[in-house]
Amino acid sequence: VYNAAPAWGLSVGDALALPEPVVTQHLHQHQGQTFSFLGIRVSSPLSLVVNGKRPPGSALAPPRLALSNPSALPE
């Protein structure tokens, strides 16, 4: 589950509901082989319903900011 906090997750046997999922067909070719699979996305882990309840706010991974200045890198 993208953007989920590392300490949060689902367990085998949990009932999962996906309100407003976006389903995408992926088709990739690599070294003569074709791989096809469906991807399901939701806007946030907080939009899921697990065992009839919404996950707590702590289920969402905190934002991270990474900055770089290519002109300041050592040569």
- Which pLDDT score is estimated for 74? 63
Q: Which residue, 36, 16, 17, is CA-closest to 25?
A: 36
pTM of the full structure: 0.65
User: What is the three-class DSSP state of 57?
Assistant: helix
pLDDT digits (tens, 9 = 90+) for 6-60: 999 899 999 999 988 899 999 999 999 999 999 999 888 999 999 999 999 999 9
- Predicted pLDDT at 20: 86
Residues 21 and 14: their CA atoms lie apart, in Å, by 18
pLDDT given at position 72 = 65
Domain layout of the chain by residue ranges = 16-46
